[in-house]
Amino acid sequence: MARMKFLCDADRCIDCNACVTACKNANEVPWGINRRRVVTINDGKPGERSVSMACMHCTDAPCAAVCPVDCFYTTADGVVLHSKDLCIGCGYCFYACPFGAPQYPRVGNFGSRGKMDKCTYCAGGPEGEDGSAAEFAKYGSNRLAEGKLPMCAEMCSTKSLLAGDSEVIAQIYRERVQKRGYGSGAWGWKTAYRETVDV
């Protein structure tokens, strides 16, 4: 069975925020919540990189580990989802997630407590009825059930945001790195080739 994952190729990301807009439009995400955002590292300095961030659908998700009501669960495809019906809005998942994926809805300038919201990998929610109006209102579109990739990845003009089976996207990235002769360097990874070039 495939394990669905995201991978952002920082060498290709141009900080256009198309992924952010596509996610908000496709899922009608409430105001104040960004299920996906673009983070810039070393802004304005040599080696500047932009990385598209969302829920990374961790294999051993820390949000699920700390949830006192067990509203988080992992699908057969490896997508980490949560039930808004079970969520009590305690915020433990927000503090446990290293990517800041779970968020409170913001209805005013200072925010408010409520049911947490996060990236669903465009896989809907636990309603059981794929594509129902109730499921869409709570969780957004269920593109995975239609055999489609998440909207953010499909709308990426430079194809820096990869989504799909983890083995397939790892192979795509591996081929890109081999053609370049070095990794992106976004996380401080450098190969011997890059280090000799930089000298």
Indicate the number of domains in the chain.
1
Domain that holds residue 71: 4-198
pTM over 0.85: no
3-state class of 117 per DSSP? strand
pLDDT attached to residue 1: 64
Tokens 């969520």 correspond to 87
Backbone angles phi, psi at 174, to 5 degrees: -60, -45
pLDDT attached to residue 106: 67
Classify residue 188 as left (phi > 0), alpha (psi -120 to 50) or beta: left
CATH code of residue 185: 3.30.70.20
pLDDT attached to residue 6: 94
pLDDT attached to residue 196: 44
pLDDT attached to residue 181: 77
Point out the residues of the chain with pLDDT beneath 70: 1, 106-112, 127-131, 182-199
pLDDT attached to residue 199: 36
Per-residue pLDDT tens over the stretch 79-119: 999 999 999 988 899 999 999 899 887 665 555 677 899 99
DSSP string of 25-72, one letter each residue: HHHTPPTT--SSEEEEESTTSTT-EEEEE-----TT-HHHHH-TT--E
153, 136 in Cβ contact below 8 A? no
